[in-house]
Structure 1
């Protein structure tokens, strides 16, 4: 059986680190582009040679960090199906969802540097697409908030609940009202298929988001 370790490097761990770093930047960028918070709490940075906006709000940043630290072991075990950033209206009903569908890692070696180079180029394309996604999405209502949803195996949920390695950050099963939208319009945004990561991103928006 082929090993996913090469020269002491765990390929799935490297991919998990890269993916979580990308998701962190993507989440911050979505919050900025969709104007969930005032622009003053963001600062301009560069990632994958693309200008991005990152939040400076401690509570927002800690929430995103805690989520990603918790899901990283799921990526390593190929047990993460998708991660969703859901935009909720003032009644806590979802009006928009950014869905990151993630497939298991295929590569078993990092011997080819082109893997990482092509992956960086792909992630750069994701960020460029997110930068202009507001042009293809309807406006969201005022006073919106967000929640991050993680889709995994039921057995994985039980394991997370038992280990709970991040104190004061309990995982709970999402209420159906937090992730169910009726009369949904799907907007494909970007996909990448490489030996290291297979991922597609699309947005779902409620056609009644303005009503």
Structure 2
């Protein structure tokens, strides 16, 4: 009999991959100096982990919030925005992790509940191979992206499914921390509707959309792509990114993004 992951275990796997992806992207896109990172292995693949406690803690809190919303089946996209480290905070690149939910919203378990699918789930033995392929594609993504030429920072944008409530962590609901998410500016959210052109093909006059990987996780599908914005290619505009509105302390957001 297949050994399927439970619903909560599947979400945990997706969250763990996002954490590895975020650390690796901050390194390979040179958002922070290389000396702040160390090389580690995950899914049998070399990747990068930030050694700065404050940044690691921040990313952990962000992903804890993302995981809470994913458990509700409320997340459509998680977007790592690389943007100019300036007052304009112009978005230059967006790494988009888009989720397709294969179970109806009514079947999403209530808080504290869980279930194991009877078929079409993610088998325990497939986790390593699936996320290894995702991480390899992510590591190679810089090879077809043009260089970022200016000082940059980043933000995490969370785009919710239609009809979902605004994201709010349990800690914020209980009053232990301030609200972590605020509505994001439209320009920070992904512009593509998921049906755009292929790798390196222009989505408008200058911007490009490059698919990286699609993976089936049983109860959900995850599609990964990178968008280079038109502003990145404008003459006189250096490329990179800073913090958009959407997450704890580094906040700023189709559909409804936070």
TM-score band (shorter)?
0.7 to 0.9
**Equivalent position SS for 2:123:** helix
Offset, 1:116: 2.1
Q: Matches of 2:125 and 2:167 in 1, distance apart?
A: 37
1:42-191 → structure 2 map (5 Å cutoff): 42-91=37-86, 92-104=89-101, 108-109=116-117, 115-153=123-161, 155-157=164-166, 160=169, 163=173, 167-168=177-178, 170-179=180-189, 183-191=206-214
Moved over 4 A (4+): 110-114, 158-162, 180-183
Q: Structure 2: which 5+ runs fail to align?
A: 104-114, 192-203, 238-258
Q: Any conservation in 1 of the 2:79–2:157 contact (CA below 8 Å)?
A: yes
Offset, 1:158: 6.0
Q: Structure 1: which 5+ runs fail to align?
A: 1-8
1:205 and 2:228 are equivalent in the alignment:
yes
Q: Matches of 1:94 and 1:41 in 2, distance apart?
A: 23
1:21-60 → structure 2 map (5 Å cutoff): 21-60=16-55
Q: Matches of 2:176 and 2:213 in 1, distance apart?
A: 32
C-alpha offsets along residues 120-148 of structure 1, whole Å, 9 cap, x if unaligned?
21110011111111111111132100000
Offset, 1:194: 3.8
Q: Greater helix percent: which structure?
A: 1
Q: Number of aligned residue pairs: give it.
A: 204
Normalising to structure 1: TM-score of the pair?
0.84
Normalising to structure 2: TM-score of the pair?
0.70
More displaced 10-residue stretch of structure 1: 167-176 or 194-203: 167-176
Q: 1:3 is matched with which residue?
A: none
Q: Matches of 1:55 and 1:46 in 2, distance apart?
A: 13
